Amino acid sequence: MVKVKDAGTYGDPAKYDPTFRGPIKNRSCTDIICCFLFMVFIIGYMIVGIVAWIYGDPRQVIYPRNSSGMYCDFGQNKGKPYLLYFDLLKCIVGTNVMASALNGMQCPTTQICVASCPENFTWITPMFGKPNEVFNQMFCQPQINLSTTTMSVQDIAKEELCPPFTIPSRPFFNRCFPKSNLVYPLEFTTNNIMDNATKENITGAFNAIVKSFDFQHVGKKIFQDFALSWYWIAVALGIAMLVSFLFLILLRFIAGILVWVLIIGLLGVLAYGIYHCYKEYDTLKKEGQSIKDIQITTNLTVLIQVQETWLAFLIILAVVEGMLLLILLFLRKRIVIAIALIKEASKAIGQMMSALFYPLITFVLLIICVAYWGMTALYLATSGEPLFRLTTLNSSAPNCSDIDGNQTCDPITFNITAYACKEVRCIFYKYNTDGLYQRNLFNLQIYNIFGFLWCINFVIALGQCVLAGAFASYYWAFNKPKDIPCFPVAGAFMRTLSRYHTGSLAFGALILTIVQMIRMVLEYLDHKVKDSHNAFARFLMCCLKCCFWCLEKFIKFLNRNAYIMIAVYGKNFCTSAKNAFSLLMRNILRVVILDKVTDLLLFFGKLLVVGGVGVLAFFFFSGRIPIDDDKFKNPTLNYYWIPILTVVLGSYMIAQGFFSVYNMCVDTLFLCFLEDLERNDGSEQKPYYMPKSLMSILNKNNKLPKS
């Protein structure tokens, strides 16, 4: 039995129960109030999504509007998907270029929807000619007919019924922007009717726009690279999945060897570090390089050239090396127990291979949560009707001083001939914020974020509890694999979600969500006060962020073990968390050793999968592994690092999915192992459920029945 010096401090050890045979089957619903609260919250979350869907209009983000507030490629603008700015110079002078591009109505110039962007240079010359000879009808406003109008070319241009000039353009975000590397005709802007349209102004303005949107070409090249390399990316991710699977299988046979190799390798690296620091210290000591000979500085290059720095490094590494050697000397038996549990976890996964595919369910549920949050946030952000007001392009123009800039207008019925000021325009300035719904859009966004975090944490909790129930049924099967229930993963899922423990999972997820929301508020406040000269405020903010970061990590650890106890005993969250914490504290040394050994092993596994597949992808996509076959030759890429980063990120996600199952299995078997030691003593009435490998390490055995 486990000897505990002060067991009462962390509760009494678990007592023998002759009816206990693994995960309890006769359960009752737990944390019903929190389950009801979670269901009400989800219903409210759905209502928020529906209301946002009714009032929101994501076309505001995707499609541009013309000066009349009409969407391009919709209604009367069907077949005209692109927005043409009559005078982009006014966009640059009056507003931010990027804001103008992403919101087609913030630029104080006329905008119309066109079927295609201009392909040629056109401009008004001193010899105006007839309107239908100077302008292109497809780039003019629909209310003017160039063939029948009696207006002069100059009046048409000044009232912005037609663009005074056009530039060869291409669509970007459905807006017409000038092509890069244009060669401007010498005659362009010479004696132009526009006062500020000198060649230098237009060239500089358009170059600024091109530079602002230079990532257009980068984006096209990236998509092109994906189109050429998607097959090989899929192959690399398949290799990552295969390597992850094989690594978990091999742990069953080489876990002990691998752990000791990693530990000895770590000790060897530290030993070499000590040797290197001593050599550097000895060399600098002989040369007389001391910290006394330099002034106080924060320059690391200077500090690294003095003997005291290397002496400090040597002492630190020596202390760490000594601590690790002492740990190995006094806790070697607990390391052996951790290795045995890791091997047993491999056997458990081998008996229930379906557990390796459960992360796919978690992944799909997470994708649904992210998609719902993103769509709800988008619809909320685009809620409200657009409002327009009068503005003047030139307030010093004749008859323009009396224009009230706060006067609202309707772009559909707006008629410039009704105003004496010919520089007046009706443009968009904001979305309507009047009304109960519009005034609470910010609060609804907060509700959306809170719901997103709660749902994400609930889905992760569900996966942990389901896997814990499946692996607990493996441990508490006395005769393995005969006593393992059929479909353990499916059975654990039904017990957890469909019937009993939705409230407990929601309770644990809610606590974690509240802490995460507080951290987000602290990050926001830190962003606001980062430029403050108040040192105490910055120090206090740093302390709060650090404390809540530690609190979040602790709650995640406690929740994880609480879900294991819920899966086994079916009690409520608080009781399960208390029992799990007490059990772990009664065996704190074993907890620390197992946690660190498992982390070391899984880190090596992730490094093997991600690093190995990433290096292979680098050599292949960079052409260092040439393939001469015409069907399977190396793709010619613009940026070969794009598929490499994709492969590395995808490999990490795959490895994380596989190893999260393995980590959950180890944690579950460990808690069950501790309970087994406290409940049973190896007698005929109270036999151990642990495997024989663990019994031999602990010098324990089960007494055979007399028969």
585-603 pLDDT per residue, tens:
888 887 888 777 777 777 8
Of 403, 269, 378, 392, the residue nearest 324 (C-alpha): 269
Q: What is the C-alpha to C-alpha distance for residues 280 and 273, in angstroms, rounded to an integer?
A: 11
With b for 16 or more beta-carbon neighbours within 10 A and e for fewer, the 460-482 pattern comes to: bbbbbbbbbbbbbbbbbbeebee
DSSP structure class, residue 616: H
Of 415, 357, 372, 354, the residue nearest 390 (C-alpha): 415
Q: Where are the domains of the chain?
A: 75-173, 387-431
Burial class (CB within 10 angstroms; exposed 0-12, middle 13-18, buried 19+) of 226: middle
> Helix (H, G, I), strand (E, B), or coil: what is residue 535?
helix
Return the pLDDT at 183: 63
> Which range is least confidently modeled, 260-274, 302-316, 465-479?
302-316
Mean pLDDT (whole number) for 259-278: 86
Q: Is the model more confident about 359 or about 417?
A: 359
Instruction: Output the six-digit token pair for 10.
Output: 């962390």
Q: How many CA atoms lie within 13 A of 149 on its CB side?
A: 21
Using pLDDT thresholds of 50, 70 and 90, give the confidence band for residue 193: very low
Return the pLDDT at 563: 93
Residue 46 pLDDT > 90: yes
Return the pLDDT at 555: 94
Other C-beta atoms closer than 10 Å to the C-beta of 80 total 19
CB within 8 Å of 216: residues ≥ 6 apart:
172
Residue 155 pLDDT > 70: yes
User: What is the overall mean pLDDT for the chain?
Assistant: 78
Using pLDDT thresholds of 50, 70 and 90, give the confidence band for residue 1: very low
Residue 487 pLDDT > 80: yes
Amino acid at residue number 613 = V
Residue 191 pLDDT > 60: no
Residue 194 pLDDT > 50: no
Q: What is the C-alpha to C-alpha distance for residues 57 and 76, in angstroms, rounded to an integer?
A: 18
Q: What is the C-alpha to C-alpha distance for residues 17 and 138, in angstroms, rounded to an integer?
A: 86
> Helix (H, G, I), strand (E, B), or coil: what is residue 29?
coil
Return the pLDDT at 455: 94
Is the previous residue joined to 64 through a cis bond, with omega within 30 degrees of 0? no
Return the pLDDT at 42: 94
Q: Is the model more confident about 667 or about 194?
A: 667
52-79 pLDDT per residue, tens:
888 877 776 677 878 777 788 887 788 8
Q: Contact at 8 Å (CB) between 112 and 136?
A: no
Angle at 624 between CA 620 and CA 629, to 5 degrees: 65
Q: Is the model more confident about 447 or about 691?
A: 447
Mean pLDDT (whole number) for 188-212: 51
Q: What is the C-alpha to C-alpha distance for residues 699 and 683, in angstroms, rounded to an integer?
A: 14
Return the pLDDT at 182: 63
Other C-beta atoms closer than 10 Å to the C-beta of 706 total 5
Return the pLDDT at 372: 92
Partner residues linked to 387 by β-bridges: 430
Mean pLDDT (whole number) for 646-655: 85
> Which range is least confidently modeled, 204-208, 230-234, 576-580, 659-663?
204-208
Return the pLDDT at 559: 93
Highest mean pLDDT among 217-221, 412-416, 505-509, 628-632: 505-509
Q: What is the C-alpha to C-alpha distance for residues 576 and 569, in angstroms, rounded to an integer?
A: 8
- DSSP per residue over 66-96, as a string? -TTSPBTTSGGGTT--EEEES-HHHHHHHS-
Return the pLDDT at 102: 38
Q: What is the C-alpha to C-alpha distance for residues 462 and 458, in angstroms, rounded to an integer?
A: 6
Mean pLDDT (whole number) for 537-547: 87
Mean pLDDT (whole number) for 655-666: 85
Return the pLDDT at 104: 39
Mean pLDDT (whole number) for 345-369: 85
Residue 395 pLDDT > 70: no
Using pLDDT thresholds of 50, 70 and 90, give the confidence band for residue 112: confident
> Which range is least confidently modeled, 430-434, 446-450, 498-502?
430-434
Q: Contact at 8 Å (CB) between 89 and 201?
A: yes
Return the pLDDT at 215: 47
Amino acid at residue number 314 = L
12-40 pLDDT per residue, tens:
676 766 667 767 777 788 889 999 999 99
This prediction has a pTM of 0.74
DSSP structure class, residue 179: P
